[in-house]
Amino acid sequence: MFRSPLCALLIALSMAADGAPLAEESMTVAAEAPTTVRVATFNTSLNDDRGQLIERLRHGHNEARRVAAVIQRVRPDVLLLNEFDFDQEQQAAELFQRRYLEVGQFGEQPIHYAYRFTDEVNTGVASGLDINGDGKVEGPNDAWGFGFHPGQFGMLVLSRYPLDSAQLRSFRKFLWHRLPDAHRPMQPDSDPPRPFHDERTWRQLRLSSKSHWDLPVDTPVGRIHLLLSHPTPPVFDGKEDLNGLRNRDELGFWRHYLDSDQAQPWLVDDQGRRGPLSADARFIVMGDLNNDPGDGSGYSAAIEALLQHPRTARFDAPQSLGGEESARLSRLKPGDTPARTHTASFGSLAGNLRVDFVIPSAEFTVLNAGVFWPTTAEPEHQWLSATDHRMVWVDLSVKDASSEEN
């Protein structure tokens, strides 16, 4: 069930301007600390090819209002926003929080997040390489990650609870070829087979199309490592399957990161620290992962390897009635993935797919979960026009919420 506006108001009133509890209320807040945490991921489509998101937010952005309304309705405690353009001064993030989230939209109650994190991504950053093989070194396809300007399709984390950015592990610059089982794109129809990229280019390619972040958050149920990414869609390429293979390996990176029983000295983050996630760390893999377990153009085994990893929890996939209705009204051919679990609607060409995930570690109990996809009979359905993705949320608890985590 969603939190009531009264509950949200009490939480907001308990926080000072910097997000810390007011001194006179700190004992009450501690005594009534929740034992569950609602975590969500949402691809907001708040990006602009011309790099004008800041101006659009400043002058009134109807899609941003709808996105904010969804957030205000679901009221997650910890939230990852994909496709939110990054700027160094965080002007877009500040405007979105102050003018959209902290102002009631369409009758919803405002929501305040005391903590946020964003950082550089690979999208739109010129590589100086001919990545797409067209003989030129220019344009969005030759950036480290597809994008028309640096920061496009960025990632933004909003949280009610402290984010430990000092302990961030970022893998934005991790080289693709260093992945032990990297799937190197090959020239189509070549005999004998030969690589799509020359050796010099292949040795420089970055794996992450945006970034891979391990960002710790300290919650009432303990420390959680947020494992955040937004792999490239496995389409928009040629027979060499550049994007499909990259998506496969961007997901495969997290599988290696969870394999804590292996030393993996090759796994070095941008900060110079080596090795996988510690064996006793609680975590959540989350984001628009652009891979459906049963349908679509991606290598479904890559997402299944995360869903079925020994360290991840087993629970029923988040669902919605709206996803089921959408598939029926669109006359989509039934696929292997149940329509109730779909999280995105890509139109007649690709149909509806399950591509957005919140995957907690096995230490968590999943109390509730859902996909925010109202049916056409519900007034909130109009909010869906803001983005082709739907928010996915999960309510989590642990058996011993007072224990300390790494």
Q: Give the integer Cα–Cα distance in Å for 228 and 223.
A: 15
User: Which domains does the chain show, CATH number per domain?
Assistant: 34-398 (3.60.10.10)
| Range scoring the smallest mean pLDDT among 1-10, 52-61, 359-368 | 1-10
Least reliable range by pLDDT among 9-13, 56-60, 139-143, 155-159:
9-13
pLDDT tens digits, one per residue of 135-172: 999 999 999 999 999 999 999 999 999 999 999 999 99
Q: How far is CA 103 from CA 57, 85, 386, in A?
A: 13, 21, 18
**200-228 pLDDT, tens digit each:** 999 999 999 999 999 999 999 999 999 99
The confidence score (pLDDT) of residue 165 equals: 97
With bands split at pLDDT 50, 70 and 90, how would you rate the model's confidence at 31?
very low
Cβ atoms within 10 Å, residue 50: 10
Proportion of the chain above pLDDT 90, given as a percent: 85
Mean pLDDT value across the chain: 91
* Residue pair 55/87 in contact by the 8 Å Cβ criterion: no
| Structure tokens given for 168 | 């961030």
Q: What is the mean pLDDT of residues 383-399?
A: 95
Type and span of the H or E element at 286: strand 283-288
**371, β-bridge pairs:** 392
355 or 23, higher pLDDT = 355
Provide, rounded to the nearest whole percent, the portion of the chain with pLDDT above 70: 90
Structure confidence at residue 3 as a pLDDT band (50, 70, 90): very low
Res. 116: pLDDT tops 70: yes
Question: Does the structure show a pLDDT above 80 at 401?
Answer: no
pLDDT of residue 404: 43
Q: pLDDT tens, 312-325?
A: 999 999 999 999 99
pLDDT at 302: 98
| Pair 391, 372: CB distance under 8 Å | yes
Q: What is the pLDDT of residues 302-311, one digit of tens each?
A: 999 999 999 9
* Strands of 78-84's sheet in order across: 115-118, 155-159, 78-84, 37-46, 392-398, 364-371
Confidence label for 333 from pLDDT (cuts 50, 70 and 90) = confident
Amino acid at residue number 60: G
| Cβ atoms within 10 Å of 164's Cβ, excluding its own | 14
To the nearest 10°, the Cα dihedral for 274, 277, 278, 279?
A: -140
Q: How confident is the model at residue 33 (pLDDT cuts 50, 70, 90)?
A: low
Name the pLDDT band for 261 (thresholds 50, 70, 90).
confident
User: What does the pLDDT average to over 89-103?
Assistant: 98
- Mean per-residue pLDDT, 334-340: 95
**Greater model confidence, 195 or 12:** 195
